[in-house]
Amino acid sequence: MRRLLRWYGAGPLHLLALLAGFAVAGYAAARLVPSAPLGIVIWFLGAVIGHDLLLFPLYTLADRSAAAVLRHRAARWPALPWINYLRVPAALSGLLFLLWFPLILRLRTRYQASTTLSPDPYLWHWLAVTGALFLLSAVALALRIRGLRQPPEPPEPHSPPPHPGPAQPSAGAGDADHPQGQG
pLDDT value at 111 more than 80? no
Count of beta carbons in the 10 Å neighbourhood of residue 89: 21
Please write the tens of the pLDDT for every residue from 128-158: 999 999 999 999 988 888 877 666 666 676 6
- What band does 119 get if pLDDT is binned at 50, 70 and 90? confident
SS3 127: helix
Cα gap 11→132, rounded to integer Å? 42
The torsion angles phi and psi of 181, rounded to 5 degrees, stand at 90, -15
* Statement: the pTM of the whole predicted model exceeds 0.75: no
User: Quick one: CA dihedral 107, 111, 116, 117, positive or negative?
Assistant: negative
Please write the tens of the pLDDT for every residue from 60-104: 898 888 878 777 665 565 566 778 888 899 999 999 998 888 888
Cα gap 4→175, rounded to integer Å? 76
Cα gap 95→116, rounded to integer Å? 26
pLDDT value at 17 more than 80? yes
pLDDT of residue 146: 81
What residue segments make up the domains of the chain, in order of their start? Answer: 1-35, 77-150
- What band does 31 get if pLDDT is binned at 50, 70 and 90? confident
Residues 6+ apart with CB under 8 A from 94: 59
pLDDT of residue 46: 86
Which of the residue ranges 7-16, 120-129, 153-162 has the most confident prediction, judged by mean pLDDT? 120-129
Tell me which DSSP letter residue 119 carries. Answer: S
Q: Using N-to-C axis directions, what is the helix angle for 84-104 and 56-73, rounded to 10°?
A: 140
**Size (the chain), residues:** 183
CB-CB contact of 96 with 126 (8 Å)? yes
